[in-house]
Chains A and B, each alone.
Chain A
Amino acid sequence: MPVQKSIALKSMKPTFWQLLLGSVMFLMLPVLFFANFQALKEVLVEEADHHLGLYEHSLENELERSQNLAFFLSRDAAVIDGVLSPRDIGSASEKLAAISEKVPGSLTFVFDTKSNFVAGSGGFVQVSESRYIAAKASQYFDMLWDGDGYTFYNTDPVTGAPCYVSLAPVQDEEGLTLGFVVAVLPLTHLETFWKSAGDQIFATNSEGKIVLSAHESWRGKSLSPSGLTDDEITFESMSDNNVTFFGVNSFFVSNDVSGIEWTLYYVLPKKPIYREALGNLFYAAIAIIMIICALYVFNMNVARSRLRHEQANLATLRALNDELETQIRDRIAAEQELLTTQRKLDRTYKMAVFGKLASSATHALGQPVAAMRSYLTAEEIGNGATPTTLKLQRLATRMQHILEELRAFTRPKSVRFGPINIRNAIQASLDLLRPNIENANVRVVWADNGPAVFMHGNQLRIEQVFVNVIRNAIDAMQSSEKRILEIDLQLVDQRIIANFADTGPGFGDTSLETLTEPFYTTHASGNGMGLGLAVTADIVEEHDGYMIAVNRENGGGIMAFSFPLLKGEVQDVAAE
């Protein structure tokens, strides 16, 4: 589990590069903003330039029209005649009126060289107006006398509307200047057009004064270089095209208008650009966030799929591991079983061989020993016992005991099994060994009046087991001060446990396997061959039992036997 978690965390966490990318993207935002702003500005300025061109063109057209009108009238025969003979002015006046009719809002006048009004396009205001016009025109008389026309800007003396005033000399055939024509062409419609286009556009004359603009209110204002606070249009830096236009930070583009010393300005407030740039920035930011999110999600998906993959791998691995473990465990168990079986077989084989050997040995030796004793006894009966015959008798007796010990191994051909009371078997063994117990001064602690405990077996064989064990215990306690043999029977999990605890020296480090090995003995030579426990183990095995040998904590040894408890018929047998 912890492995999976760490993998998950590792995969879910943004990597260093992802973090760096995110940071850089966000750091790039101002740059992006600026770049975007600049780009927008470029586009708008270019557009403004284009617009400016158009406006300039219209302005120039208007100028040309005005000049053309003046020139056309100055060449008109009726006008010339009218100047030559002021009395016969009627046709000239008609002409002018017709022109004014064709060009709405326009005014035309004809003056003589002394600036006397000769004719006009009509209307009652025109007389006074003409005087003003004549006064204005008188500034340009020199040019007029030279035969050149001139156009200047003015505001309509009556309406105050902006207009072009074009002057053109009226000359006779010899080129003598007789008078001049004045054509006043209003520019109001241009202003209206500019206004309706929604552009912030205005034109200044050579003095920097606004003469024509999209807003009437701007007219008359003058441009100022930076620093003058009371001016409403302040150029901060001409090179950067920055202007503070009525308190609004703006860009501007400008162009000189040909034919008249005007400059046309096109102003773009920065705010919308900023707003748009900001908007773009916002979209960019959103895009970046979305990209990051997408990257993150992708990353997470990758991580998740990797995690899933790894988990699957892990699960597979674990399953494989488990399987292997199980196999190994099974194999170990099988090997263990095999080993146990082999050991059992080994032992069985050993015991069988040994039993055969013991059988033939007891038979082969039994006869001569019996014969020897017979001779000895005959000798003693015939001639009386001598020290030699007594010694020989003792040796023969010893040989006999050895043979008896060996005989225990000669397995009976058939052992009849049946329900036996193990308590009786223990009691019988104790009774048999009563003299030995008393001689060795051993106290036996044994509840001989306990309930009957039945097992399936052969009473005599089981008795042999207990006789061997009790005899061993007695021998073991030979040199102990305290000589107590405690015997008890217990029932644990459908098995009978018989414990024989002595106060001897215990078994030390000797394993049960060694203890039950034939010919293993702790006795001095001539005191038994060490077959007792081997026989015991053999019989215990024959009865589906097992035995263990343990040392007691405070000295002494315990020999414990376990046999399967006989159930069912036990009650019947006990009842009998």
Chain B
Amino acid sequence: MLQRSSEGYRILIVDDDDEMRESLETLLQSAGWKTKTVPAADAVLQLIEEFEPEVILTDFRMPGMDGMTLLANLRQLNAPPVILMTAHGDIPMAVEAIQLGAFSFFEKPFDPRRLLEVLASAVVQNRLSDMNNDLKARLSRMSKLDRIYLGDSEDAKQLRDRVLEYCEISAPVVLTGETGTGKES
């Protein structure tokens, strides 16, 4: 069922080991995933633009940029969830990875079915999150809030979300602030 539901999910696989990369590609394709593989972390950013992966599965130890650095870099962007793999894993490393925002952590060798499950759930969660964001944006547009309260900053976005949330409450909501913050427009 899960395999079927993951039909068409896009995954970017980053691993310097050819066999590993190829086997993961085979596994994921057999489960209906659309895959893209790269042997190094440097090409990842460009591929995010081109391929728009819904989840990134990366090896931890690689020549050049390693998995942890990649994770740290991606976290600053609106990047898809990242799942780390390692053959040297230990628990502190896993904890660090999770703290840095990794979706999950796998030790090689792993149970492939479990990997598929986790990857799928990452995609689902990511999709839900995206969907949520889309809906919020749509709601904002529909209420013309985006025209009343302008701003592309993160704070402005959050405030718009809050306003939309408070819409459900039957009480007047007043925005206050310094002159020039845009509250009157």
A residues lining the B interface (CB < 8 Å): 359, 362-364, 366-379, 381-382, 396, 399-400, 403, 407, 410, 412-414, 416, 460
Known: A371-B19, A374-B26, A374-B27. A412 touches B90 (CB 8 A): yes
How far apart are B20's CB and chain A's nearest CB, in angstroms?
5
A-B contact pairs, 5 of them (CB 8 A): A367-B17, A367-B87, A367-B108, A370-B20, A378-B31
- CB neighbours of A379 from chain B (8 A): 30
Known: A381-B30, A381-B31, A460-B91. A396 touches B109 (CB 8 A): yes
How far apart are A350's CB and chain B's nearest CB, in angstroms?
21
Cα A416 to Cα B27 in complex, Å, equals 38
A399 nearest in chain B by CB position = B109
- CB neighbours of A378 from chain B (8 A): 23, 26-31, 112
Is A370 a contact of B23 with CB atoms below 8 Å? Answer: yes
Cα A359 to Cα B17 in complex, Å, equals 17
- Chief secondary structure at chain B's binding surface: helix
How far apart are B68's CB and chain A's nearest CB, in angstroms?
14
How far apart are B100's CB and chain A's nearest CB, in angstroms?
17
- Give the contacting residue for B88; candidates A374, A375, A410; CB below 8 A: A410
Is A369 a contact of B92 with CB atoms below 8 Å? Answer: no
Which of A374, A412, A416 is packed against the most chain B CB atoms within 10 Å? A374
- Give the contacting residue for B87; candidates A366, A374, A382; CB below 8 A: A366
B114 nearest in chain A by CB position = A377
Cα A375 to Cα B24 in complex, Å, equals 8
- CB neighbours of A413 from chain B (8 A): 90, 92
Is A363 a contact of B88 with CB atoms below 8 Å? Answer: yes
Cα A462 to Cα B143 in complex, Å, equals 59
Is A377 a contact of B88 with CB atoms below 8 Å? Answer: no
Is B92 a contact of A371 with CB atoms below 8 Å? Answer: no
Cα A376 to Cα B88 in complex, Å, equals 23
- Give the contacting residue for A400; candidates B17, B89, B109; CB below 8 A: B109
The count of chain B contact residues (Cβ–Cβ below 8 Å) is 28
A396 nearest in chain B by CB position = B109
Cα A369 to Cα B23 in complex, Å, equals 10
Asked whether any CB of chain A lies closer than 8 Å to the CB of B133, the reply is no
- 1/0 contact trace for B75-97 toward A, CB 8 Å? 00000000001011111100000
- Give the contacting residue for A373; candidates B19, B31, B88, B111; CB below 8 A: B111
- CB neighbours of A362 from chain B (8 A): 87-88
Is B87 a contact of A368 with CB atoms below 8 Å? Answer: no
Q: Which 6 A-B pairs give the minimum distances between C-beta atoms? A: A371-B23, A366-B87, A377-B112, A378-B30, A370-B109, A374-B23
A416 nearest in chain B by CB position = B92
Is A375 a contact of B87 with CB atoms below 8 Å? Answer: no
Cα A416 to Cα B95 in complex, Å, equals 13
Cα A364 to Cα B61 in complex, Å, equals 13
Known: A363-B87, A367-B17. A373 touches B26 (CB 8 A): no
Asked whether any CB of chain A lies closer than 8 Å to the CB of B132, the reply is no
- CB neighbours of B19 from chain A (8 A): 367-368, 371
- CB neighbours of B91 from chain A (8 A): 412, 460
Cα A412 to Cα B27 in complex, Å, equals 31
Is A382 a contact of B107 with CB atoms below 8 Å? Answer: no
Is B3 a contact of A370 with CB atoms below 8 Å? Answer: no
- Give the contacting residue for B23; candidates A364, A375, A400, A403; CB below 8 A: A375
- CB neighbours of A368 from chain B (8 A): 19
- CB neighbours of A367 from chain B (8 A): 17, 19-20, 87, 108-109
- 1/0 contact trace for B4-43 toward A, CB 8 Å? 0000000000000101101110111111000000000000
Cα A293 to Cα B139 in complex, Å, equals 136
